[in-house]
């Protein structure tokens, strides 16, 4: 059972228990940890449910004097023991029911096992939570009201005023869950989406995308946004917007594809593929790389798109991108390259890229098991495609030694079997003596 016993906490408890405290005086004396201001004792507050307030304010820092040392949760019915320590009633009674007749905090034997309701502390807790709860509700109502005002203004304003209204709405939905809910409950998704069209300026489009990407979209909203004219505008903005806007565009297009039966031609445009490759090429913005690769993975899952992707030069760019990426992004790159290796054009592009084999071989046993799996699949595809040319390059890059390590590792049997098959394929161009000499494990360590 968790124990919590800072000395300052015990002193504060004893101070509260030893005298009847006026609420306002308690605040001024710093018993509540400071900063909560004058507490209202309006009778109307008694109508509020303490349990509900505690649940809705769970992320807020609560003064330690309000925390039960046993559960480490705010107390609703505090009671005090003969030792002067205070606990939540249900927690201390459970402690007694387990056969303990000591104070959980001090471990002193109890000379009196009765518990005394700490009404002063209970009133302090209730008043503190009431004030915070009402402040939160007031702020929430203010946000709701402002969102409704902005949505109404968007029906009327144009030009720069529309941009400013959208910017404010974007900031509201980014900062407040209440704002998101208000937008969706008041037809805001359809209203904001309707501002995207062939004649929409990039300034308006960027803000619209910034709003929508923060909302939960249903299937109808997604279908509406996947209209060719709207998708075309998103792709244009993805090519020309700021880095933040380009990331938002990428994430929004990814959201639209989730759980939606979209036609692959909608996402096969060369302009979109080129824009995404430009985005992932910029390693200065890791969030952009991750977002771009995630969307490319989704797009490449459609076989009809893979040929176009190869034709825009994706393979050499992704191969050169691998060094320096984190494991998450490496898995995405290797997954995409594995998909591309499933078509003849992809295998040819992988074979013709001079750094494919050395870069992929380096990743074996270096990153995650998934990375090793994808890397083996890629190497198998290109070595099978051009064994005489690629197998010898792979062995010279240290593949044989890496494969031996995979076979001896704790990886799953499928990977070990694929490694054995690839090792056999690579050995065909060598005599046994020469091939064994190329399997030195020191090369792998290097």
Kindly state the tokens that stand for 20: 């009847």
Give the model confidence (pLDDT) of 177-211 as tens digits.
Answer: 888 998 999 899 999 999 998 889 999 999 999 99
Question: For residue 17, is pLDDT > 90?
Answer: no
- Most confident among 134-143, 259-268, 318-327 (mean pLDDT): 318-327
Q: Residue 41's pLDDT is what?
A: 40
DSSP 166-178: HHHHHHHHHH-HH
| Residue-level pLDDT at 203 | 93
pTM score over 0.75: no
Average model confidence (pLDDT) across the chain = 81
| pLDDT of 57 above 50 | yes
Q: What backbone phi and psi angles, to 5 degrees, belong to 206? A: -60, -45
Pick the more confident residue, 95 or 57. 95
pLDDT of residue 320: 93
If pLDDT is split at 50, 70 and 90, which confidence band does 442 have?
very low
Residue 261 has pLDDT above 70, yes or no: no
301-306, long-range: CB < 8 A, 24+ apart: 301/339, 302/264, 302/267, 302/268, 303/342, 303/343, 304/264, 304/265, 304/268, 305/264, 305/267, 305/268, 305/273, 306/339, 306/340, 306/342, 306/343, 306/345, 306/346
Residue 29's pLDDT is what? 46
Encode pLDDT of 356-394 as tens digits. Answer: 999 998 888 777 888 888 998 999 899 888 888 888 888
Q: Is the pLDDT of residue 141 over 90?
A: no
- Structural domains in the chain, CATH included, are 7-137 (3.30.40.10), 155-312 (1.25.10.10), 314-446 (1.25.10.10)
Condensed to tens digits (0 to 9), the pLDDT of residues 87-131 reads 999 999 999 999 888 999 889 998 888 899 999 999 898 888 888
Write down the pLDDT at residue 9.
38
């Amino acid at each position: 059972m968790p124990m919590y016993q800072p000395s300052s906490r015990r002193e504060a408890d004893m101070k509260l228990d030893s005298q009847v405290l006026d609420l306002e005086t308690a605040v001024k004396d710093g018993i509540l940890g400071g900063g909560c201001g004058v507490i209202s004792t309006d009778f109307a507050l008694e109508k509020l449910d303490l349990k509900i307030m505690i649940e809705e304010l769970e992320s807020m820092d609560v003064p330690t004097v309000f925390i039960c040392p046993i559960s480490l949760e705010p107390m609703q019915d505090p009671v005090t023991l003969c030792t002067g320590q205070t606990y939540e009633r249900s927690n201390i009674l459970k402690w007694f029911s387990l056969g303990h007749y000591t104070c959980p905090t001090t471990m002193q034997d109890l000379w009196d096992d009765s518990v005394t309701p700490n009404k002063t502390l209970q009133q302090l807790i209730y008043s503190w939570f009431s004030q915070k709860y009402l402040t939160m509700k007031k702020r929430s109502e203010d946000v709701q009201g402002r969102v409704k005002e902005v949505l109404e203004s968007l029906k009327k304003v144009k030009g720069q005023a529309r941009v400013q209204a959208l910017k404010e709405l974007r900031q509201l939905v980014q900062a407040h869950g209440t704002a998101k809910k208000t937008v969706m409950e008041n037809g805001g998704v359809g209203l904001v989406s309707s501002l995207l069209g062939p004649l929409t300026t990039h300034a308006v489009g960027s803000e619209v995308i910034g709003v929508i990407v923060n909302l939960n979209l249903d299937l109808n909203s997604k279908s509406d946004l996947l209209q060719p004219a709207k998708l075309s505008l998103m792709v244009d903005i993805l090519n020309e917007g700021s880095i933040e806007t380009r990331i938002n565009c990428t994430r929004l297009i990814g959201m639209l594809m989730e759980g939606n039966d979209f036609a692959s031609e909608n996402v096969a445009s060369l302009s979109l593929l080129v824009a995404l490759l430009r985005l992932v090429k910029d390693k200065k913005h890791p969030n952009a790389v991750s977002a771009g690769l995630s969307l490319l993975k989704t797009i490449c899952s459609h076989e009809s798109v893979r040929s176009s992707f190869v034709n825009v030069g994706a393979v050499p760019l992704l191969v050169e991108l691998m060094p320096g990426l984190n494991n998450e992004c490496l898995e995405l790159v290797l997954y995409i390259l594995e998909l591309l290796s499933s078509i003849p054009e992809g295998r040819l592009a992988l074979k013709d890229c001079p750094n494919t084999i050395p870069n992929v071989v380096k990743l074996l046993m270096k990153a995650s098991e998934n990375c090793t799996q994808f890397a083996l699949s890629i190497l198998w595809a290109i070595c099978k495609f051009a064994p005489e040319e690629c197998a010898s390059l792979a062995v010279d890059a240290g593949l044989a030694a890496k494969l031996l390590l995979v076979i001896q590792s704790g990886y799953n049997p499928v990977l070990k079997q694929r490694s054995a098959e690839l090792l056999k394929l690579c050995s065909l161009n060598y005599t046994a003596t020469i091939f064994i000499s190329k399997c030195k494990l020191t090369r792998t360590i290097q």
